[in-house]
Amino acid sequence: MITHLKSANDNERSDTLLVFLPGAYLKPDEFEREGFISAVRERHLAADSLLVDADVSYYYDQTLSDRLHADVIEPQRAKGYKSIWLVGISIGGFGALIHELSRPGSVDGIVALAPYLGRRVLGAEIHKAGGLRTWQAPTGPQPDEEVDRKLWPWFQQYLEPQRSKNLPQLYLGFGLSDRFASNHKLLADALPEGRVFTTEGGHDWPQWRQLWRNMLDVLPVPSLGRAQRPAATRTPAPAPRMPSAKPWAIAA
């Protein structure tokens, strides 16, 4: 994967790294064009930004998680970054989530902006059951091996205080008229207070820009000149056997 580093401080490397994953058919430099990097700098946050050219071919080839880990996460850890966050838009948000599924404990936080969360039919099933708090994930053989069948039970762990301590901090942002909003609302109900951000509008840059700026004001990222807060200790879980991501509904 081709990457582009944008340092928070020209004089030294920060301890925190924000890894940006674009939506389908979007280019990584659009994060810079749309003000995502300048918003970090305006707040004087001690976080470097890494733009990743994770285009849809990685989803079609089902290699996203492997390549992201080998080409981005492991090399950046080796450079000394103590805290790594994935920031993904749409299919990029989905990529951040399924990477954590396949590589538990490899990142410290996830910001999912208008993420694709799997098939609507599965979301409708969860909604019919009363939401994630009451939905019972099927056991035994499944009709298919699509990754959303593992994603939604994983989200349920955020409802359990003890189990959620070993999960990355997850922040969700979406437009109330987003075409994926029905699934977003199901996930929102499972997240702690202060982790969900909404805005008017749909699935486009004006909404994502506003959400990102609002979320940056509360993300647990250190400021320049201040010591980084110690990260919560998480015990990495063994990686489950699971299929790689399939782009069921590739979207920007």
Whether residue 105 contacts residue 237, with contact meaning beta carbons closer than 8 Å, is answered with yes
Question: Among 79-93, 112-126, 216-230, where is mean pLDDT lowest?
Answer: 216-230
CB atoms within 10 A of CB 125: 13
Strand partners, 173: 113, 197
pLDDT (0 to 100) of residue 8: 84
**Separation CA 181–CA 197 (nearest Å):** 12
Q: What average pLDDT does the segment 51-73 reach?
A: 92
Q: Is residue 238 part of a domain?
A: no
Total count of domains within the chain: 1
**Separation CA 117–CA 111 (nearest Å):** 14
Strands (E) in 97-204, as ranges, are 109-113, 169-175, 196-199
Q: Is residue 251 part of a domain?
A: no
Q: Is residue 221 part of a domain?
A: no
Tokens of 230: 């110690």
Higher pLDDT, 92 or 137: 92
pLDDT (0 to 100) of residue 26: 94
pLDDT, one tens digit per residue, over 3-61 is 999 988 776 789 999 999 999 999 999 999 999 999 999 999 999 999 999 988 888 88
76 phi, psi to nearest 5 deg: -75, -35
Residue type, 168: P
Q: What percent of the chain has pLDDT over 90?
A: 71
pLDDT (0 to 100) of residue 252: 53
Cα–Cα distances (Å) from 61 to 26, 186, 200, in that order, read 18, 29, 34
Q: Is residue 137 part of a domain?
A: yes
Q: Which domain holds residue 154?
A: 3-216
**Separation CA 142–CA 174 (nearest Å):** 30
Which DSSP string corresponds to 44-77? TBSEEEEEE---THHHHTT-HHHHHIIIIIHHHH
pTM of the model as a whole: 0.87
Q: Is residue 30 part of a domain?
A: yes
Cα–Cα distances (Å) from 169 to 110, 118, 136, 251, in that order, read 6, 20, 24, 25
Q: Is residue 47 part of a domain?
A: yes
CATH of the domain at 69: 3.40.50.1820
**Separation CA 158–CA 187 (nearest Å):** 9
Separation of first and last alpha carbons in the chain:
19
Which DSSP string corresponds to 159-183? GSHHHHTTS-EEEEEEETT-TTHHH
70 phi, psi to nearest 5 deg: -75, -35
Q: Is residue 237 part of a domain?
A: no
- Rg, Å, the chain Cα set: 17
Closest CA to 59 of 249, 248, 245: 245
pLDDT exceeds cutoff 60 at 139:
yes
